[in-house]
Structure 1
Amino acid sequence: MTNPSGDHDRGFSPLRPDPVNNPTSNGPPASPPARFSPRLGLIIGGVVVAGLIAAQSITVIPAGFVGVVFSSFSGVKPIPLQEGLHFVLPFVDHVTTYDARLQEVTLAQNTAQGDEGSIRARSKEGLDITADVTVQFRIDRSKAAILHKELGRNYINTVLRPQVRSKVRDSIGQFGAADLISNQRTQLEASITTELNKSFSRNNLVLDAILLRELKIPESVAQAIEQKQTAEQQVAVERNRLQQAEISAQRDVVQAQGKAKAAIETAKGEAEALSLRGRALKENPQLIQLTVAERLAPGIQTVMLPSDGNFLLDMKSLGTQSLPKTAQNPAPQTPAAPAAPQSGN
Structure 2
Amino acid sequence: MKPGGGPARTGGMTTSGPERTVNMPRVNLPSPNRRVWLGVLAALLVAWVLSQGVRVIPAGFVGVVFSSFSGVKPDVLQEGIHFVVPFVDHVNLYDARLQEVTLAHDSPNANDAEGAIRARSKEGLDITADVTVQFRIDRAKAAILHKELGRNYVQTVIRPQVRSKVRDAIGQFSAADIISTQRQAVEASITTSLRDVFSRNNLVLDSVLLRELRIPDSIAKAIEQKQAAEQQVAVERNRLQQSSISAQRAVVEAQGAAKAAVEQAKGEAQALSLRGKALRENPQLIQLTVAEKLAPTIQTVMLPSGGNFLLDLKSLGSAGTAATTTAAPATDKTAP
What is residue 24 of structure 2 aligned with on the other side? 29
What is residue 102 of structure 2 aligned with on the other side? 106
Q: Counterpart of 1:225 in structure 2: which amino acid?
A: I
Q: Whole-Å Cα distance in 2 between the matches of residues 107 and 163 of structure 1? A: 12
- Superposed CA offset, 1:279-312 (max 9, x none): 2222233333333333336454556565877455
Structure 1 unaligned residues grouped into runs of 5+? 332-345
- 1:231 is paired with a residue of what secondary structure? helix
- 1:89 is paired with a residue of what secondary structure? coil
Match of 1:201 among 176, 199, 202: 199
Q: Whole-Å Cα distance in 2 between the matches of residues 236 and 219 of structure 1? A: 25
- CA shift, 1:210, in A, is 0.9
CA contact (8 A) 2:13 2:22 kept: no
- CA shift, 1:324, in A, is 11
Q: Whole-Å Cα distance in 2 between the matches of residues 114 and 301 of structure 1? A: 114
Q: Whole-Å Cα distance in 2 between the matches of residues 92 and 301 of structure 1? A: 136
- Superposed CA offset, 1:255-286 (max 9, x none): 22222222222211221121122222222333
Q: Please say which of residues 31-40 and 222-231 is displaced more in the overlay.
A: 31-40
Structure 2 unaligned residues grouped into runs of 5+? 332-336
Q: Whole-Å Cα distance in 1 between the matches of residues 140 and 196 of structure 2? A: 18
Mapped pair 1:329 → 2:329: yes
Q: Counterpart of 1:198 in structure 2: which amino acid?
A: D
Q: Whole-Å Cα distance in 2 between the matches of residues 180 and 82 of structure 1? A: 43
Q: If the length of structure 1 is used for normalisation, what is the TM-score? A: 0.80
- Superposed CA offset, 1:164-202 (max 9, x none): 111111111111111111111111111111111111111
What is residue 92 of structure 1 aligned with on the other side? 88
What is residue 63 of structure 2 aligned with on the other side? 67
CA contact (8 A) 2:303 2:311 kept: yes
What is residue 74 of structure 2 aligned with on the other side? 78
- 1:252 is paired with a residue of what secondary structure? helix
- Superposed CA offset, 1:93-123 (max 9, x none): 1111111111111110111226701011111
What is residue 143 of structure 2 aligned with on the other side? 145
- CA shift, 1:136, in A, is 0.8
Aligned pair in 2 of structure 1 residues 241, 149: CA closer, same or farther (>3 Å)?
same
Q: Whole-Å Cα distance in 2 between the matches of residues 42 and 123 of structure 1? A: 78
- 1:112 is paired with a residue of what secondary structure? coil
- CA shift, 1:204, in A, is 0.9
Comparing both structures, which one devotes a greater share of its residues to helix? 2
What is residue 289 of structure 2 aligned with on the other side? 291
Q: Please say which of residues 149-158 and 49-58 is displaced more in the overlay.
A: 49-58
Q: Counterpart of 1:31 in structure 2: which amino acid?
A: R
Mapped pair 1:169 → 2:167: yes
Aligned pair in 2 of structure 1 residues 105, 36: CA closer, same or farther (>3 Å)?
farther
Q: Whole-Å Cα distance in 2 between the matches of residues 118 and 21 of structure 1? A: 94
Q: Counterpart of 2:231 in structure 1: which amino acid?
A: Q
- CA shift, 1:146, in A, is 1.1
- 1:91 is paired with a residue of what secondary structure? coil
- 2:128 is paired with a residue of what secondary structure? strand
Q: Counterpart of 2:82 in structure 1: which amino acid?
A: H
Q: CA-atom RMSD, angstroms?
A: 3.5
Match of 1:117 among 115, 118, 139: 115
What is residue 248 of structure 1 aligned with on the other side? 246
Q: Whole-Å Cα distance in 2 between the matches of residues 177 and 326 of structure 1? A: 119
Comparing both structures, which one devotes a greater share of its residues to strand? 2
Q: Counterpart of 2:211 in structure 1: which amino acid?
A: R
CA contact (8 A) 2:13 2:21 kept: no
CA contact (8 A) 2:60 2:97 kept: yes
Q: Whole-Å Cα distance in 2 between the matches of residues 217 and 288 of structure 1? A: 94
